[in-house]
Chains A and B, each alone.
Chain A
Amino acid sequence: MKKILVIFAVLAMTAAAWAAPAERYLHVRVDDPAKQQSVHINLPLSVAAKMLPGIDHGSLHDGQIRVGSIDVNGVDVVQMLDALKGAPDGEYVSIQQRDRLVRVAKQNGLLIVHVEKRAGEDKKVDISVPWTVAAALVSSGKSHELNVEAAIQALENTGDKTEVSVTSNRQSVRIWVDSQSQVQ
């Protein structure tokens, strides 16, 4: 009888460990090779989710961030995301100019944004975010406000698909989410 109980206990613990979702981490990496500076941040998403509602500073309050308007070549990104919630996959914005390139698409459940600025200082922005996260960002229903708290909750349930990178001549910023507590 004891043996059976022990086997059940071990099985129950194994199942619990198996079922427990792995902690997911938000990583931010900023590199400035010219100044030989670098910043690495590894923050458990659960901690970020707990911290956010407590911050009432600047444009961040109650887990929401006031953004004014995120305007890319006259396209209000927040309004566009809201409008695209139920839209099928496709390329929704494509601007090609001599000095800049903008592409916004919905592809395989991901929001893909690519912006390239070639005049003056070269700058490249690449965003690949699960659509559920993008939809959560604009879920507050208020224009010019992003629901960061909802987006973080959505991130906890997505795979390793989130990647934001901003690269310029001087600096590179990379933000991504995975299950590694530190960058290898």
Chain B
Amino acid sequence: VILIAKVATGLVGAALVAGGIVSSQGFIHVRVESQQAAGPHVRLVLPAMAAPIALRFVPRPQLRESTEELRPWLPAIEAAASGLSDAASGPLVQVTEPGRQVTVAKDDGSLVVCVENPGQAVYVSVPLRTVRSAAAVVAERDGPN
């Protein structure tokens, strides 16, 4: 019984440590809400530390292809994410046009993008730290072989 209790304590401890490590970088929230009853309603919460790790496993040619347009802006994205960490929360960009509203805002330590179309709203929140480390991974993997 004592052995089982020790193993259980070890497992709980390991789970707590793993949980702590996973949540230390925050979470990526994705929400898709449809105003139609049959439309999609998606709610995803992903550990933010998984994003840069996942990027490391994307094959280099595919990564290069999909980040072609992003490449010249990577240093600016990294700098913006780093600079925004110290800035106050608030809207950064708001675009309004008939039937659509796009908002990019800083909310605590996260960058929040909200796109509202007729019948559907998409909300994505990414910790700024993750934006920075993801940009760094892309720049590093995208560089010369």
Instruction: Write the residues of chain A forming the contact surface with B, with a CB cutoff of 8 angstroms.
Output: 23, 35-44, 46-47, 49-57, 181-182
Contact = CB atoms under 8 A, between A and B. Distances in A.
Contacts of A55: 72-73, 75-76
Most chain A Cβ neighbours within 10 Å, of B78, B83, B88: B83
Nearest to A31: B96
B90 A42 contact: yes
Contacts of B74: 54
Contact of B75 (A40, A46, A54, A181): A54
A23 B95 contact: no
A76 B97 CA distance: 37
Closest 3 CB pairs of A and B: A54-B75, A47-B83, A181-B90
A51 B93 contact: no
25 contacts: A23-B87, A35-B97, A36-B98, A37-B95, A38-B95, A38-B97, A39-B94, A40-B91, A40-B94, A41-B93, A42-B90, A42-B93, A44-B83, A44-B84, A44-B88, A46-B86, A49-B83, A50-B79, A50-B82, A52-B76, A55-B72, A57-B73, A181-B87, A181-B88, A181-B89
Contacts of A42: 90-93
Contacts of A52: 76
A113 B44 CA distance: 52
B84 to A, nearest CB: 6
Contacts of B53: none
Nearest to A58: B72
A23 B88 CA distance: 8
